[in-house]
Amino acid sequence: MNSDVAIIGGGPAGLMAAEVLSAAGVPVNLYDAMPSVGRKFLLAGKGGMNLTHSEPADRFAGRYGERRQQIEALLADFGAAVVRAWAQGLGVETFVGSSGRVFPTDMKAAPLLRAWLQRLRHPAGGGPGVRFHMRHRWLGWTDDGRTLRFETPSGEQRVQARAVVLALGGGSWARLGSNGAWVPLLAARGVAVAPLLPANCGFDVAGGWSEHFRSRFAGQPFKNVAIRFETDAVPAFDRQGEFVATQTGVEGSLVYAASALVRQQIVRAGEATLLLDLLPAWTPERVQREVAHPRGSRSLSSHLKSRLGLDGIKTAALYERLGKDAMNDPVQLAAAIKALPLTLVAARPIDEAISSAGGVLFEALDSGLMCEQLPGVFCAGEMLDWEAPTGGYLLTSCLASGHRAGQGVLDWLQRAK
């Protein structure tokens, strides 16, 4: 089969590249290993489809850490405001939530995806619609490097294309198609790839939780707490929110927000210690005063509940980490309430993570996201070497990179004429 452009991967990045090309009148064939496209997109929208974030552009770009410069260049063409306008063009109105996150008014991903696919199949200008080929698992290239190989229900198929966009996802959520199987295929062709690592992930605590704590509190949230994390005695993270105790450690939004820093520290030092503030609205002096208040015949647990409002998982965590002697020392107890050490020793497996870090290095790509080692082959989405916290940043950058790759293909085809 011959194709002007082959896009491999039917997630947001691949679909956006297809939209750019289709709108320009370029015939596109899109291939995906799954029975339908956008599976991770749909799953991510089950709790409310977080499209992007409304915060100022400078702060938005700062969410990408070491890859800020590269992602900021992509966002210049397809940033948060453009994402909202794009959704509106599909008939999906959006609103800004109390956290600054942007959602469709119905909070659902499926209507947006349906409208998007309809537009891809039947472009407004009447040009060639995108052709979708499901259950086509990419196997790499033939030995001469000129032809794409796909495993299909009817046997292996081979496709030649003038340009290829790879939008194969990272390494998380393998059951939805993002399994990182593309890494050795690109590495074998000389493309520089950083190892895929879990991002927006949970962590195991040192020594594990006790059976008592695990049996009673695994799955329970720590609400209205703050986490502080320091590296070389320098505050690197300090934020309020909530997270959840798991069978082996911790996960949830506040932990995910710190996950890149924590993972990097574990790689460097073998462990990372978070300081958990159980009463972030209270000053240390107030906590010390209330802890030291005479409790008479009341138990310590009753005292903490009546004087400080601490009970349940928060009190259990104090007992878990401090032990009986420290719990009965007012000075140590008060200090722990404001800075309870929580040592983490390992990230959870990548397939449990919301997203992944690592991937094709930007240094291996040109400004249009074409591989320097593979002319005519472009990369987009989570398979690029970047990471971001949840909150709309992941999806926005996937869309932005797909848009840039689509533009890069158009430029490549123009130059190749």
Q: Other C-beta atoms within 10 Å of 366: how many?
A: 14
Q: Which residue has the tokens 């007992």?
A: 319
In this prediction, what percent of the chain has a pLDDT beyond 90? 88
Confidence of residue 43 (pLDDT cuts 50, 70, 90): confident
Phi/psi class of residue 350: alpha, beta or left (left: φ > 0; alpha: ψ in -120 to 50)?
alpha
Q: For domain 2-199+356-416, give the CATH number.
A: 3.50.50.60
pLDDT value of residue 128: 85
| Average pLDDT across the chain, whole number | 94
pLDDT in tens, 162-207: 999 999 999 988 888 889 999 999 999 999 999 999 999 999 999 9
What pLDDT shows up at residue 236? Answer: 82
Asked whether residue 88 carries a pLDDT value surpassing 60, the answer given is yes
> For residues 58 and 61, what is the distance between their CA atoms, to the nearest angstrom?
5
* pLDDT given for residue 233 in this prediction: 56
Question: pTM, whole model, 2 decimals?
Answer: 0.92
Q: What is the mean pLDDT of residues 246-268?
A: 94
- Beta bridge partners, 277, equal 226
Q: Over 90: is that where the pLDDT of 111 sits?
A: yes
DSSP conformation letters of 88-154: HHTT--EEE-TTSEEEETT--SHHHHHHHHHHHHS-TT--PPPEEE-S-EEEEE-TTSSSEEEEETT
pLDDT band at residue 235 under the 50/70/90 scheme: low
- Domain positions in the chain are 2-199+356-416, 203-347
Q: What is the amino acid identity at position 230?
A: E
Give the pLDDT mean for 371-389: 96
Taking residues 233-247, what's their average pLDDT? 87
Those residues whose C-beta lies under 8 Å from the C-beta of residue 174, and which sit 6 or more positions away, are: 180, 351
What does the block give as tokens for 214? 């695990």
Residues 39-47 have a mean pLDDT of 83
Q: Which residue has the tokens 């928060």?
A: 314
Instruction: For residue 351, count CB atoms less than 10 angstroms from its CB and return exposed for 0-12, middle for 13-18, buried for 19 or more.
Output: middle
Secondary structure E strands in 142-233: 148-152, 155-166, 193-199, 203-205, 221-231
Backbone phi, psi, residue 258, to 5°: -100, 0
- Give, in order, the Cα–Cα distances in Å from 386 to each of 33, 111, 145, 338, 343: 24, 29, 27, 33, 26
Angle formed by the axes of helices 330-338 and 284-292, nearest 10°: 140
pLDDT tens-place string over residues 313-333? 999 999 999 988 899 999 999
Average pLDDT over residues 141-149: 94
